[in-house]
Structure 1
Amino acid sequence: MSTSLLSPSDTTGFGGIVKEYAWQWQNQPLRVVYETLGNGSPILLLPAFSSVSTRAEMAQLAKLLSPHFQVVAVDWPGFGQSSRPSLDYRPEIYQQFLADFVQAVFTTPIIVIAAGHASSYVLQLAHQQPDTFSKIVLVAPTWRGPLPTMGANPQVGGIVRGLVRSPILGQILYKLNTTPSFLRFMYRRHVFVDTAKLTPNFIAQKWQTTQKPGARFASAAFVTGNIDAVHNQSDFLALVESLTVPLMVIIGESSPPKSRTEMQTVAALPKVSSVVLPGSLGMHEEYPQEVFAAIDDFLHTPQN
């Protein structure tokens, strides 16, 4: 488990130093790409899980933070520029990856900013290893994949996941669900608020992310709920209540109603700081300046 610099020709997410973390899962080697920018106390940025997940969605927030912190943003295994093998993606993979990555890259407790579905993994690691993080910021936190949110049971999710993983039919189904027009529809529905930001170039970049070899495997696991780290709200809330470090929750005022209600339930817990800002599930990418302004004092306030 080592790190190395990538060649200058590699595409970067936000103009930082791009590195590679060599990781293994059950003897399967994976190349995990991450990027660092700035100097100072370390902050880990974890992008949301989605079919278009990449550290680049954290780019503007990283740039805003970099004058004060050393920012590290990572592409989850199976997403972004990281390896995308045909693993049976499930929570154990990401739980182990996050623990190993933090241990390999950082030497002191760190601040972590996690978007969307990454929240559960952060909370689990904080529960298991309380000295890992010094502060936690959850931006539009979610814990349930799209199909379970729509009411599909695990059996239906398993069937869909199996179809998408199949060699020929799976590729066809995946391509139909990642066309530029479908990506635009999904962004307008519950990711971005300002549709003027969904330019042809923006959508084209997102589409290119979905078309990398092996992209459908981790994406199908997310959509069908196979990488849901918790399976009910009470477990998510219990993780929050078990925290021994400061927590701040950022809620998008235009989040889907069910998701917003669940976020507000978290925000109502004792000792949880919270704020409601413009945006929806992609607010960390759409409104990075507002997110930065909201968390700035929290990040700099000394712990009691």
Structure 2
Amino acid sequence: MTRAKRRSSRSKKGNHNAAHSTHPKGAATPKRAKGAGTPASPAPATKAPSHTNKGGTKQATANPKPAAKKVTNSGGAVPLPDAVAAPRHDHVTQDGVRINYYVDGPEGGRPLVLIHAVNAAPSTYELKPLFEHYCATRRVYALDLPGFGFSDRGDRRYSPQLYSGVIADFVRRAVGEPVDAIALSLGCEFTSGAALREPDLFATLALISPTGFSERNLPNGQGQLAKWLHKALSVPLWGSRLFSLLTVRPSIRYFMSKSFVGKVPDAYIEYAYATAHQPGAHHAPLYFLSGQLFTTAAYGELYSKLTQPVLVIRDRDPYVGFERLAELMADHPNWTEEQIAPSCGLPHWERLAETAKVLDRFWAANSAQPEPEPEPEPGPAPAAAPSVAPTPADPEQAP
């Protein structure tokens, strides 16, 4: 090999090494976290101005024109976009559980808090139509419950007590004032539990297709059978495969088609698929599948004890029975029911205008604003007291 050719060979070798290393010689290469994917490069967003609410948590003020959805790659198989186009924040409960929430809309009235359902792939997206409708006129908060969305998905014990405690903590410490709450399906049980913990902070409850009213007695969710079933489902050999089968697009579409009268929106399927393919996505759903997230006696332990005004919105739901609802309403005048038909568990997706009308009527009947006290009718003016000279206590003081 000639000298010129040797120089050319060394030059190409040096360029090859440079192309495969971005660190100087001798520098440590940072290690990627286990299970982490390649971070996405979202477009820079303008930071919204912040304010401090009554609970002491800093939050961004509402944007009149929210920015485009951010897409985050949290190490999952697919990137996860924001469920709604609104500022997104974290709240850490006093027990150390980190939850994600969205907030938007003008302040001034009673805040609205939205709680999604629980299934294999739930998130705030389930309540997206209600969030977008009401954030134009009032302050709206929407939570990703632990194990879902952008909230902590750690391998912990998930239970009704965990969820009701998280919701109560959020309203008490992040919102800091009484709220109207809307919950969906199994989220209704968790929200009712939170309202029993903090009755003064939940002014009204609107429950869309709530669980817990079926005549069939559920097995004890905290019993040995449920715990054994969860242990069996958690075996990686088949537990992960079962979850994978439940969260492929055709499976999601099949199960969601039962909750829609018409066609399931493609965007709904895509978001459910994305949120179900994030790290730790299987932990909470396996507790759901084993029955441990249901309150066995929700009728007596939760619903019958509520003292707030409660609205039930329902029609027919292939996953939920309402046989005992009439029985409860007969003995509890604080409960009302509205049927929005035809719907199959998600009326706010297919009949939003009717759902909003029902909600607005319920809130108007249970307004937070006290009625003005009537002004007293004018009466006759009191007679003036006669002028009497004071009597001196001592004769020597007389004039």
TM range (shorter): 0.7 to 0.9
Structure of greater relative contact order (alpha carbons < 8 Å, 6+ residues apart): 1
Q: 1:157 to 1:285 in 2, by over 3 A?
A: farther
2:287 is paired with a residue whose SS is helix
Change (3 A) 1:4 1:257: closer
Q: What is the CA distance between 1:249 and its match in structure 2?
A: 0.8
Q: Distance in 2 between matches of 1:175 and 1:240?
A: 34
Q: Distance in 2 between matches of 1:185 and 1:263?
A: 28
Quote the residue 1:197 is aligned against: 264
In structure 2, list runs of 5 or more residues that go unmatched.
Answer: 1-54, 61-68, 73-80, 371-399
| Identity across matched positions, percent | 23
Alignment partner, residue 23 of structure 2: none
Q: Report the Cα distance in structure 2 between the residues aligned to 1:126 and 1:152, rounded to whole angstroms.
A: 21
Contact 2:209 2:320 in 1 (8 A): no
Segments of 5+ residues of structure 1 without an aligned counterpart are none
Q: Which amino acid aligns with 2:333?
A: P
Alignment check: 8 A CA contact 2:218 2:296 kept: no
Q: How much has 1:270 moved relative to structure 2?
A: 2.5
Report deviation, 1:263.
Answer: 4.1
Per the alignment, residue 89 of structure 1 pairs with 158
For residue 38 of structure 1, what is the amino acid of its counterpart? G
The alignment status of 1:277 with 2:340, answered yes or no, reads yes
Counterpart residue number, 1:109: 178
Aligned partner of 2:5 in structure 1 is: none
Please give the residue correspondences for 1:1-304 in structure 2 after superposition, counting only pairs within 5 Å. Answer: 10=72, 11-23=81-93, 25=95, 29-40=96-107, 41=109, 42-143=111-212, 156-189=225-258, 191-194=259-262, 196-199=263-266, 201-228=267-294, 230-232=295-297, 234-236=299-301, 239-251=302-314, 253-256=315-318, 259-268=321-330, 269-278=332-341, 279-301=343-365, 302=367
> Would the aligned equivalents of 2:304 and 2:328 in 1 still touch at CA under 8 Å?
no
Determine if contact 2:217/2:296 at 8 Å carries over to the other structure. no
Aligned mates of 1:56, 1:297 — CA distance in 2: 25
Q: Distance in 1 between matches of 2:217 and 2:251?
A: 20
Larger radius of gyration, structure 1 or 2? 2
CA pair 293-171 structure 1, distance change in 2 beyond 3 A: same
Structure with greater proportional strand content: 1
Note the alpha carbon deviations across 1:175-212, whole angstroms, 9 max, x for none. Answer: 122222221221123x2221x2343x432321121111
Q: Which moved more, 1:258-267 or 1:65-74?
A: 258-267
How far is 1:125 from its partner?
2.5
Contact 2:125 2:271 in 1 (8 A): no
Partners of 1:125 and 1:132 within 8 A in 2 = no
Distance 1:96 1:153 in 2: 17
| TM-score of the pair, normalised by structure 2 | 0.65
What amino acid maps onto 2:264 in structure 1? K
Distance of aligned partners of 1:264 and 1:65 in 2 relative to their CA distance in 1, 3 Å threshold? farther
